[in-house]
Amino acid sequence: MSPQRIFFNQLFATVFAPEVQKRIENTTLLLAGIGFVIHLALIFLKKQGWVFFAPLYPELLTDPIAAIYTPFSLILVYEVYLLLFYLPRSFTSCVSKQFEIISLIVIRKIFKDIPAMDLEGDWTHSNHNLELLVDLSGFLLLFLLIFLFNRSKQRLPKRPMDDPKLLRFISSKKIVSVVLLFVLGAMSVSTFGHWLLDVFHQRAIAQVDNLFFNQFFTLLILADVIILLISFRYTEEYAKLIRNTGFIIATILIRLSFSAQGYLSTVLILTGVSFALLILLIYNAMEHPLQKAASIKN
């Protein structure tokens, strides 16, 4: 193994060590609790009229339920860190983690939108109420699709970890993961800094739900493509290459959902996850007969 690979493998083992993960998890939970209390305090101060806030994000300062938005945002950052940890394991595990992240983004948006429901008159005439209903239904369906995807993932054959090609491929993915971690770290600091400046200058961001994650999924697509290209060196299996390509298409559809408005955003997310599930089911159907034939031959 080259010195560069050894360096990145050691760096990966350091930044994703179990004790480091536990420390980051505890820090995230602590910050989430503090953020939740601060958000509640701001809502209380605004309701009492003791503090005036510029109407940048009125939907986040009207009801205590909206305060859940803050801890969810911090937990999502930790989930991104875990995604990079899963990246070298397998394409399927990484995609599964992506789906979990997008489901948390959807539920976070629901918590923000619930306080703004129109409960007067015929609620079906309110576009906000209908969009919230679509989001709730979409989240339930998304939760089911993720469950089916994870169950199908468990049927995948396990390759021996002493396979030299597999070990070299995992080493390459660790390099991508470490580089992506530092790029995303710099990007998150930059995004947070620009957001603070926008708040200071009283400039509201049109889609605050997509803050950071729009760029994150763009980088994730690029990382997936790089891993796919690297995989051509270590495997010539048609089914596996098509499966990984299909997963990239699913990630692209999820990325497009951040640019969509209204119902189309939910439709694109569900389409992406459904597409990945179908790809995985077809892949399993192609792989299992090969497994059976190999076991009979042995």
Residue 122 domain-assigned (yes or no): no
Contacts of residue 88, defined as CB under 8 A and 6 or more positions apart, other chains included, come to: 12, 170, 173, 174, 176, 177
Task: Please give the model's pTM, rounded to 2 decimal places.
Answer: 0.82
Give Cα 298 distance to the centre of its chain. Answer: 41
Place of tokens 């083992």: 13
Task: Record the tokens describing residue 92, joined without a space.
Answer: 């399927």
More confident residue, 212 or 39: 39
Helices (H), the chain: 3-15, 18-48, 69-86, 91-113, 127-153, 164-200, 213-231, 238-257, 263-297
The span from the CA of 210 to the CA of 208, in Å, is: 5
DSSP string, 83-110: HHHHTTT-HHHHHHHHHHHHHHHHHHHH
Q: How many domains does the chain have?
A: 1
Are the C-beta atoms of 191 and 170 separated by less than 8 Å? no
Q: The domain containing residue 63 runs over which residues? A: 3-115+127-293
pLDDT at 57: 65
Mean pLDDT of the chain: 83
pLDDT surpasses 90 at 231: no
pLDDT at 224: 87
Residue 298 domain-assigned (yes or no): no
More confident residue, 79 or 211: 79
What residue type is assigned to position 111 of the chain?
F
**Residue 293 banded pLDDT, cuts 50, 70, 90:** very low
pLDDT at 209: 65
pLDDT surpasses 90 at 25: yes
Query: Residues 159-184: what's their mean pLDDT?
Result: 82
Select from 277, 283, 278, 294 the least CA-distant residue to 237: 283
Residue 243 domain-assigned (yes or no): yes
Between 119-133, 182-196, 247-261, the lowest mean confidence (pLDDT) is in: 119-133
Residue 176 domain-assigned (yes or no): yes
Residue 121 domain-assigned (yes or no): no
Q: Is the dihedral of CA 215, 248, 288, 85 positive or negative?
A: negative
pLDDT at 286: 84
**Residue 153 banded pLDDT, cuts 50, 70, 90:** confident
Residue 68 domain-assigned (yes or no): yes
Cβ count within 10 A of residue 182: 11
